[in-house]
């Protein structure tokens, strides 16, 4: 099955200088920078090897929307955006120079200042290296954490609250491994409830990368931390993403997280400033 063409202003910007030129070919990425193809420049727009025509009007529309990614199908473009009736939130793909991030009601779900979502993910997973055994990823999102952890794990169980998030991931070229990697097992539901169904000591590593505390306060609470402790095997490691430790709010949240993790049994909790979180050892 052919993959959809997904683009952003990063891909369309170089095309504009070819408008009005003689017929020729231009190299462009059809998948947000993962690969490149040659498109044919015509009076109406550019034609991809699949035969899809991207019109100049659409190219200009994409180029003007710096915070959106677009899917091209049957000659028409539409924003990669989904509204969820479950959470009453809007999810959309936001381009970066590498992997896109997801905006949740306008809030980026990855670090993008001075880094990119793919590099941000590597830092998070590296915090609990070596990654081995069974890994729990408590918030699937675009699947970057699950895919990175799957490089070393025997199995990755990843939980997503909102199916609308996975709708966005399905059109994101950088998320394809989430759906075709046999090591990854997806679960739909509230992590604070799903986790109760796992046996004691089920996981060697846990990567807890929740939304900001204002959106998911229960995932920062003592009761949920006690469940994380229970399902983590002895000798296992937990990485908890929090946010910028140098910001006032980040510093405050970090202090509370460290106190609660120690209170429920983690004997050693270390800050990982480079990954914007902490690692707790059982």
134-137 vs 155-160, strand pairing mode: parallel
The Cα–Cα gap between 63 and 45 comes to 14
Element (H, E) at 245: none
Please state the pTM of the whole predicted model.
Answer: 0.93
Q: Is residue 95 assigned to a domain?
A: no
Q: What is the pLDDT of residues 74-99, one digit of tens each?
A: 999 999 999 999 999 999 999 999 99
pLDDT of residue 39: 96
Contact in structure between 186 and 158 (CB atoms under 8 Å): yes
CA distances from 146 to 70, 94, 131 (A): 24, 20, 11
* pLDDT value at residue 185: 98
Dump strand ranges (E) for the chain.
5-7, 24-28, 37-41, 45-47, 53-55, 70-73, 76-79, 81-84, 89-94, 101-104, 107-108, 134-137, 155-160, 184-188, 203-208, 232-241, 268-272, 277-281
Is there a single domain that holds both residue 115 and residue 75? no
Per residue in 122-135, pLDDT (tens digit) is: 999 999 999 999 99
Encode pLDDT of 235-249 as tens digits.
Answer: 999 999 998 877 777
Same domain, 243 and 132: yes
Q: What pLDDT, on the 0 to 100 scale, is given for residue 104?
A: 92
Specify whether 61 is located in the same domain as 136.
no
pLDDT at 2: 59
Give the C-alpha separation, 230 to 52, whole Å. 52
DSSP 16: G
Residues 127 and 75 in one domain: no
Token pair listed for 190: 């509230």
Task: Tell me the residue range of the domain where 53 lies.
Answer: 5-79
- 147 shares a domain with 29: no
Nearest to 129, CA basis, from 279, 282, 277: 279
Same domain, 119 and 171: yes
Express each pLDDT in 18-77 by its tens digit: 888 767 889 999 999 999 999 999 999 999 999 999 999 999 999 999 999 999 999 999
Whether residue 156 sits in one domain with residue 49: no
Structural domains in the chain (count): 2
């Amino acid at each position: 099955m052919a993959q959809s063409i997904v683009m952003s202003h990063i891909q369309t910007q170089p095309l504009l200088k070819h408008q009005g030129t003689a017929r020729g070919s231009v190299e462009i990425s059809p998948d947000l920078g993962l690969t490149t193809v040659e498109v044919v420049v015509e009076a109406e727009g550019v034609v991809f090897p699949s035969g899809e025509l991207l019109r100049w009007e659409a190219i200009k529309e994409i180029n003007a929307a710096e915070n959106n990614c677009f899917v091209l199908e049957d000659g028409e473009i539409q924003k990669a955006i989904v509204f969820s009736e479950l959470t009453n939130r809007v999810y959309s793909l936001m381009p970066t120079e590498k992997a896109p991030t997801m905006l949740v009601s306008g809030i980026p779900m990855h670090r993008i200042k001075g880094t990119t979502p793919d590099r941000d993910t590597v830092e998070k997973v590296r915090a609990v290296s070596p990654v081995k055994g069974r890994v729990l990823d408590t918030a699937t999102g675009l699947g970057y954490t699950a895919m990175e952890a799957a490089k070393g794990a025997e199995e990755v169980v990843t939980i997503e609250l909102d199916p609308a998030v996975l709708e966005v991931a399905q059109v994101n070229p950088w998320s394809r491994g989430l759906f075709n990697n046999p090591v990854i097992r997806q679960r739909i539901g509230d992590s604070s409830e799903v986790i109760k169904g796992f046996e004691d000591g089920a996981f060697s590593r846990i990567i807890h990368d929740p939304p900001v505390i204002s959106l998911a306060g229960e995932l920062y609470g003592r009761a949920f931390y006690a469940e994380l402790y229970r399902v983590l095997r002895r000798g296992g490691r937990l990485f908890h993403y929090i946010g910028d430790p140098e910001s006032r709010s980040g510093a405050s949240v970090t202090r509370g997280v460290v106190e609660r993790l120690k209170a429920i049994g983690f004997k050693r909790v270390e800050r990982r400033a480079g990954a914007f979180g902490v690692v707790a050892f059982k």
